A and B are shown apart, each in its own frame.
Chain A
Amino acid sequence: MNAAPHLLPSVRWHPAEYALWLVPIACFFLFPGYRVLGSQVFITALFALSLDLVLGYAGILTLGHAAFFGLGAYTAGLLAAHGWGEPLSGLAAAAALAALAGYLVSFLVVRGEDLARLMVTLGIGFLFYEAANRAAGLTGGVDGLPGIAMGKVLGVFSFDLAGDTAYVYSLAVLFVVFVLARRLVASPFGLSLRGIRENRARMPAIGAPVRRRLVAAFTIGAGVAGLAGALLAQTTQFVGLDSLGFGRSADVMIMLVLGGTGRLYGALLGTALFMLAQDYLAGINPVYWQFWLGLLLVAFVFFARGGILGAAETLRRRFSRP
């Protein structure tokens, strides 16, 4: 019989993917004044990527994802503030702790349905926020965590004011995690997550342990979110309570939905669009920029279902039809 692997989604890199990854490299040289913003975009894109694994693939609605971002940020920040400024081990520690927290929390999250999950994750977000607020002696509370002193990346590149190191460092971490995530979603594990998202009730009937899979997905998502938070702490050398805040959880969901869920690239494009639009609109009018962002969001939901990538796919299908 025909083995037919060609009938399955290709795992080869498409030329458009290479082109897309060349864009940030080109931007490094073309827009030197925007390197700080660039690194913020990469970090937030990494955060959105982590949400895509949880929401886009596993189908878990969450409004508390910033809890893990903030936990990662505080972990890396506290390590650096207490003399452990080596960046890569700081990232690893932050990701590990965020993943552990995600694992513990996941048992509360995976049980319920959508509304229950929203409430539980929202509640967990508030718990983390208030815990950090109360532990002001450790976290600096509303004043933020002071005294972060970062070492050099790989012992060579120190973080500079122009943001050169931060730009390359964040982009490199984003790329490595993206490659791993891309592999993950194309794997049997990724397929089983999509199965759960498509029809959770059917999965046990083909022998799948649904909860165990969701726990794994949520844990991985939390770990990646922690990684993103750690990157922010290291590159800005500051951690504030807003890293754990509800606003961050909501923003990242908007970015992901703008780009398109369940596609990985949607997280990257949505984040870039959101943050660049925010930067541009705030430049025009620092007070009312959210108005235009709101308009953009509503327009997307009505006219471009599935976000940028969803709309692109719909158009491609329409035009490729004979």
Chain B
Amino acid sequence: MSNALRTEQLTRRFGALEAVCDVSLALPRGARHALIGPNGAGKTTLINLLTGALPPTSGDVYLGDERITHLRQHPRVKRGLTRTFQINTLFGGLTVLESVLLAILEREGRAAEWRRPVARYAEDVEEAMDLLATLRLADDADRRTATLPYGRQRLVEIALALATRPRILLLDEPAAGIPAAESGEVFGAIADLPPSVTVLFIEHDMGLVFRFAQRITVLAGGRILAEGEPEEIRRDERVRAVYLGREDG
């Protein structure tokens, strides 16, 4: 089975600090892959390298068979590689509907058109409303994003990513900062994704990780400490020592 996303010895240094070191990762199509590790392990940096927000010091990133190491962010999104952010990174002054509509218009290559008002793009508006309905955000459609409670904003963060119709979705702590009861809603939306979509997610809640991940990669100090199926990771002594031990304890 060909890989949807793959890295080869990916490394990123900040001065003397090796934030990500020699990471070779392969995600087959449709994978549900978790990335875990203590704070400062390099998880978010790795996401930034995958999306092109940061250039790597060395190593390569492949999308399918295409080497995209030096491709900028927005063409990667056009190829189906989308991320969410650990801290809400939204369009505060736009309404929820406008935000999602903007992502849809970008995906459809219509965002540079100027002759018709956005309200006339009925199909796109309808798609946006459908997406908001599946995330139970429809009632907030005309509210400015900045006025929503944090948990709702978290869902908008997911909605923006889904609106790009990703083939590969990178989720940076999608349930961070929201009550446990609502995190189910976030992961419910992720679980409902078509099986062909490849998902890589960073998550600290081990319950969620073991529930949703088919494979887990553990990062520590920027390097891959262990990789395997949830049961293997659970039993791995090194992982328990640096990470899980504290959770269990």
Contacts and interface: CB of A to CB of B under 8 A. Distances in A.
Nearest to B122: A3
The majority secondary structure among interface residues of chain A is helix
Contacts of A284: none
Interface in B119-158: 119-122, 125-126, 129-130, 133, 141-142
B91 A195 contact: yes
A176 to B, nearest CB: 16
Contact of B90 (A1, A8, A202, A210): A202
Given A1-B130, A187-B115, A189-B111, A208 B142 contact: no
B234 interface: no
Contacts of A199: 89-92
Given A11-B119, A207-B78, A208-B106, A4 B125 contact: yes
Interface string A169-186: 000000000000001101
Contacts of A186: 117-119
Nearest to B145: A198
Given A7-B97, A183-B117, A205 B83 contact: yes
A11 B105 CA distance: 18
B119 A205 contact: no
B125 A206 contact: no
B92 to A, nearest CB: 6
Contacts of A273: none
Contact of B89 (A184, A192, A201, A208): A201
Interface stretch (B19-27, B69-77, B191-199, B239-247): B69-77
A206 B166 CA distance: 10
B14 interface: no
B86 interface: no
Size category of the binding interface on chain B: 35 or more
A8 B98 contact: yes
A10 B142 CA distance: 12
A39 B205 CA distance: 66
A295 to B, nearest CB: 30
Interface of B: 51-53, 72-74, 77-78, 82-83, 85, 89-95, 97-99, 101-103, 105-107, 110-122, 125-126, 129-130, 133, 141-142, 160-161, 163-164
Given A7-B142, A204-B72, A207-B107, 7 more contacts: A1-B130, A4-B141, A186-B119, A189-B111, A192-B111, A195-B91, A199-B90
29 contacts: A1-B129, A2-B126, A3-B122, A5-B120, A8-B95, A8-B98, A8-B101, A10-B119, A186-B117, A188-B102, A188-B110, A189-B112, A190-B114, A192-B112, A194-B98, A195-B94, A198-B91, A199-B89, A199-B91, A204-B73, A204-B74, A205-B53, A205-B161, A206-B77, A206-B160, A207-B78, A207-B103, A208-B102, A210-B74
